[in-house]
Structure 1
C-alpha cells in the first residue's frame, strides 16, 4: 500500500516563513520572561510541595558501551528557566490536508542534533540557542515505514523505508529496506534489503534496536542485522501457525507472536538471544486477549487488551517469562496504539505513550478527569512485583501530566502549561521520597500548543537537558494554505552551554 505525498519542492516565501517564526518567538519569549520573573520573585511557589533541589539523592548513571541502547541520566540545571533553541517549519504543504497529511514519523535527539523524519528524508538541526540551522539532510529514496525510539549510546538509529515501485506492480507499497544511520552526522552507515519481505507494509512493519542488533518483524517474517556492518545475523520466514508480529528492544529482545486466525488469535511472547534468535523462554498469553503491546523488554512487561481493543492490564514477568503481577488499568490511559488515530502505522507495539517502565516500577497516567476542581489527571507508580500502588504524582487544574521516560531511578514528567495559570514544565519525580525537581519551565506557541502537547499527535522527548516537541502529521493551515507550518520546537535551560 502506497502512502504519503511525493517529495516536496520548497517554494514557500522566505519572508512569510520568517514572519511566522518571529510571531511565535515573541509569544514564546514573552511568557518565558514572565516565568523568569516568577522564579526570581518567588521560586518556592513554582516548586511548592517539591522540597529543596536535590544534592545527595540524584539519579545514578552507569557508563554504556557505544552499541548499548542509550539510557540517559540528566543533570539538574542551575536554573530551570527555559529558552527557545530550535524552531523548524515545514513548507509547501498546500496539498496536505487532514485527509491527506504529510507524515513525519520519528524524532531523535543527541547533545548536538535534533533529527526529524519527514516523508522521504531525515533532517538534522543544530541545537543552539534560538537557532534554526539545518546541519544535514539524509535522503532515503523512499517513504519512512517504521521507526524506533531507541538510540545507541553513541547516537545511531534505524528506519525501514518503502522504495518506490511502479504503480500496480507486485511490490507497490512494500517496505523492505533498512537504513542505519548516525544522528550526529546524518551519514548513512548501511542499507540492507530485507529477505522475503513482500508482505511488509507500513501497517505491519515493526522495528527495534537492542545491544548491537537491529531487528525487524512484519508478520510473515523477521530479520536481525549486526549494527556494525549490516551483516544479517538471522531471519525467519513463517510457515507455521505463529507469526513474528513485532519485537521490543532496549536492554533485551522480546518477540511478540500471533498464532491462528481471527477471531481465534492467541499470542505468545518470547525472549530471544539477539545475535542468534534462539528462544530463551516463552510466555503464553491467556486466550481472549485481543492485542498485546510490549512497553518494556527488561523488565519484561506486557500491556494487554483483554476482551476489548483498549488496553486493560499490565502484566509483569520474571526472568523466566512467568507471570509475576497483573495490574488492572481501569481508570488509566496507557495510550498503546493511540498514534495516527489508532491506525497501525510506522510500528506500534513498543509505543505506549501513557506508560513508562523502570527497573522495579511501572508508571501509568490516569484518564483525564474533568469532574474534579483540583487536578485533571495524575500518574501512579505500580510495583512490578506486587502490582500494588507505590506513589502518586498529581497534575494540576488545567495542567495535565504525562510520563516521558526514566531518569535513572526517577521519572521525567511533562506538565502542560495553561495560559496565566502556569507555564509548561518538565520535572523529575522521585517516587520514594515524593520529591519533585524542576528541570525546565517554558511555554509553547499558543496556536500549536494543543497538538504539540498531545502525545497521540506529537513526539515529546527530553534529552541532555532539552525538551523537544515534534508533530507526526503535517497539514496546511486552511486559512493560510501557502504558509509554512511549525513542525518541531526545542526548549533548553537558559544557562546551558553548547
Structure 2
C-alpha cells in the first residue's frame, strides 16, 4: 500500500498557495487579458490566477454586465516584425526557423544552383524555386535533368530524416518502447464545416457527443458577480450537470439554472472550500475539501482537513470526515487536493495521502510512516488512480509515479522520475501521461519541460516528449498533481497548443496559434494540426470521444467560439459563436485563459474565476465570478 508517511522535517509550504490557478513566477508581471493589443489596464488582469477587482453587486445572483470601458482596442503603435510563426514554411529570404522535432534544415546551396525544398512543420514540402540565373550561362537540358533527379533524391532523404527525428522527446541513446494506449473513435463524425487540419485520419477521431446546433449563434445567458471577500480567496471548482452549473463560493457551493442563472440550491459549509475534484460520478456526485472553521482576521487562514461528498443534483453533503496520521501525528491530516476513481475518493498533501469509500466515507487507507520517508503528495483520478509519491530526505528527494489498485492502494506498477524532478502532475491515468519540470528548466512558470508517456501496466517509459516552453502553451501547477490545463490525451496522442505567434498577415495584433499532437508510443509529432486562424487562439478544453472540444479566444472585435476538432484529421466544426457586441465581449474577455475555468456542454459555454480578492473601490471594471453563453433552443 502506498501510504504517506511523514514528510521531511521543515517541509516548505506550497510556494503557490491554495489550490486552483497557477501563481506567476517571481519577477513576472501578470499578463494582460488575452486577444487584445493594448496598454495594461489600471488593475492587474486575472492572469496566472490573480483575481480581478470586485463588482459593486452582491454575490450569488445573476446579473447583466455593465457597459465596460473601451477595453481591448489597439493603443500601441505597430510592433516590430516577429519571428516566423510556428508551423508555417519559412520565406526563402529569411533564415529558416527550426521546426518542431529538432530537424535542422539544410544550409543554403551555392548561388546559381537550384534551392532544395525545406520540409515545413506539417510535413509538406515548399515549392522548389527556379534556378537562379545570376547572369550566367543557362544550363543545358541534360544537366537540368541530372540536377532535378539529384534534388528529388535529397528531398526524399531529407523528409525521411525529418520524420524520423521530429518530436522525439527522448534524450541521447534513449529509445521509445511499447505501444500507445488508444481511445479511438468511429472516425469522421462531425467533420463538416471546419477549417484547418491536414493529412488523413488514420482511423482516429470521431465518436463525439457534441454536435453543431441548428444555429451556432449564442447569446449571454446570465452572469454572476464576484463575491465580497476580505482577502485573496481561492474559489476553484465548477461542474456541469444536466440541470445546473455548480460553482464553489467562499464558504458554500451554489447551483445555477443552466439557462436562466437562477439559484437552484446553496450548500453552506463550516469553512472555506479548499479543494475540488475535477471528476464527478455518473450520477453527479463529487468530492471536495473544506476547512473545519471559518477564516477570521488577521490571518484569514484555516487548515484544510475535511473531506466530503456532495450530491450535485440535490445540494446535499452526503458525508464528511477527516483522518489522522502521517506527519500530522495525532492531529488531523492536511490535504491540498482531492480526486476520485471508481468507488474511491483519494486526497493528498504534504502530510500524506488517504482514501475513502465513495458511498460512506469510510477510510480505505490513511497516511502512514515509512522508512524511506515516502508520502503520497497527491493523486490523479478518472479511469485509473495514480499516486505521485515523494521519497527521501529533504536534500535528496525523488519522485515515484505509482499506478494503484483503487480499492487497496497497492501499487500495480511504478516509474521513478529522473533526477531533477521535484514535483510531477498527472495529465491522464489511462493511458498514463505525466508532466514535470525537470531541473526547473522550463523557466516560464508553466511547470512543464517534458511529458512522460508511461505504460501503466509495466511502469516502463514509452516516450519522453520535450515541450519547449517557448513553443508550447500547456500548463500545470507544479505543486499540484491533478492541475494541468490545455493538455489532452486521446487516440494514443497528446494534444497541446503552441504559444501565440504572429499570424500570416504579419499585422499588429494578428497573433494566432495551433494545436499539435504527439504520438504517445514514439514521442514524435504527427503531421496533422489544427490552425486557430488569424487573430484567434485555440485553447483545448476536453476530449469528446475521439474529438477535442476547444475554445477559440477572440480578437478585439469579435466573440469567442467553441469548436469540435476531429482527433485524427484535426478538422474543426463550429459549435458556438459568442456575440461581438462590445459590452458582452468585455465580460467574456475579463477572464484570463490561465486563471479561469472554461467548460462547454450541449450548446452552453461557461467561464468562471478561480481567485477573488478584496474589492477595489477605485476600479471601474466590473468583475465576474461566472459568465454563461448559450445557443438558441
Find out whether 1:123 has 2:254 as its counterpart: yes
Counterpart selection for 2:450 from 313, 316, 333: 313
Find out whether 1:435 has 2:582 as its counterpart: no
Q: Is the contact between residue 306 and residue 313 of structure 1 (CA under 8 Å) also seen in structure 2?
A: yes
Q: Is the contact between residue 50 and residue 437 of structure 1 (CA under 8 Å) also seen in structure 2?
A: no
1:28-67 deviation per Cα after TM superposition (whole angstroms, max 9, x unaligned): xxxxxxxxxxxxxxxxx9855589xxxx998437xxxxxx
Structure 1 Cα separation of the partners of residues 62 and 341 of structure 2: 41
Find out whether 1:395 has 2:535 as its counterpart: no
Judging changes above 3 Å, is the alpha-carbon distance between structure 1 residues 165 and 89 closer, same or farther for their aligned structure 2 residues? closer
Structure 2 Cα separation of the partners of residues 221 and 58 of structure 1: 39
Find out whether 1:212 has 2:329 as its counterpart: no
1:413-468 deviation per Cα after TM superposition (whole angstroms, max 9, x unaligned): 11011133x4311111113223211111114834344442x332110112233211
TM-superposed deviation, 1:365: 1.4
Judging changes above 3 Å, is the alpha-carbon distance between structure 1 residues 121 and 481 closer, same or farther for their aligned structure 2 residues? farther
Structure 1 Cα separation of the partners of residues 399 and 376 of structure 2: 10
Find out whether 1:60 has 2:207 as its counterpart: yes
Structure 2 Cα separation of the partners of residues 305 and 13 of structure 1: 41
Q: Is the contact between residue 110 and residue 463 of structure 1 (CA under 8 Å) also seen in structure 2?
A: no
Structure 2 Cα separation of the partners of residues 483 and 314 of structure 1: 39
Alignment correspondent of 1:255: 387
Structure 2 Cα separation of the partners of residues 58 and 291 of structure 1: 32
Counterpart selection for 2:612 from 474, 492, 495: 474
TM-score by length of 2: 0.63
Alignment of 1:145-160 (within 5 A): 145-160=274-289
Alignment correspondent of 1:322: 460
Q: Is the contact between residue 148 and residue 157 of structure 1 (CA under 8 Å) also seen in structure 2?
A: yes
Find out whether 1:276 has 2:408 as its counterpart: yes
Find out whether 1:78 has 2:220 as its counterpart: no
Alignment correspondent of 1:332: 472
Judging changes above 3 Å, is the alpha-carbon distance between structure 1 residues 366 and 375 closer, same or farther for their aligned structure 2 residues? same
Alignment correspondent of 1:101: 232
Find out whether 1:383 has 2:519 as its counterpart: yes
Larger radius of gyration: 2
Counterpart selection for 2:303 from 162, 174, 184: 174
Unaligned runs of 5+ in 1: 5-10, 28-44, 62-72
Judging changes above 3 Å, is the alpha-carbon distance between structure 1 residues 329 and 125 closer, same or farther for their aligned structure 2 residues? same
Alignment correspondent of 1:39: none
Unaligned runs of 5+ in 2: 1-12, 20-54, 72-191, 443-447
1:392-417 deviation per Cα after TM superposition (whole angstroms, max 9, x unaligned): 11223331111100010011111011
Q: Is the contact between residue 245 and residue 258 of structure 1 (CA under 8 Å) also seen in structure 2?
A: yes
Range that drifts further, 118-127 or 80-89 = 80-89
Alignment correspondent of 2:262: 133
Find out whether 1:303 has 2:435 as its counterpart: yes
Alignment correspondent of 2:226: 90
1:287-335 deviation per Cα after TM superposition (whole angstroms, max 9, x unaligned): 1223211111111001121111631111111121110111110121221
Q: Is the contact between residue 205 and residue 568 of structure 2 (CA under 8 Å) also seen in structure 1?
A: no
Q: Which has the higher strand share?
A: 1
TM-superposed deviation, 1:483: 9.3
Judging changes above 3 Å, is the alpha-carbon distance between structure 1 residues 140 and 314 closer, same or farther for their aligned structure 2 residues? same
Alignment partner of 1:386: what SS? coil
Structure 1 Cα separation of the partners of residues 62 and 376 of structure 2: 48
Alignment correspondent of 1:7: none
Counterpart selection for 2:365 from 220, 234, 248: 234
Ranked by relative contact order (alpha carbons within 8 Å, sequence separation 6 or more), the top structure is: 2
Alignment of 1:437-452 (within 5 A): 437-443=573-579, 445-452=584-591
TM-score by length of 1: 0.78
Find out whether 1:457 has 2:589 as its counterpart: no
Q: Is the contact between residue 92 and residue 484 of structure 1 (CA under 8 Å) also seen in structure 2?
A: no
Structure 2 Cα separation of the partners of residues 249 and 208 of structure 1: 6
Alignment correspondent of 1:291: 423
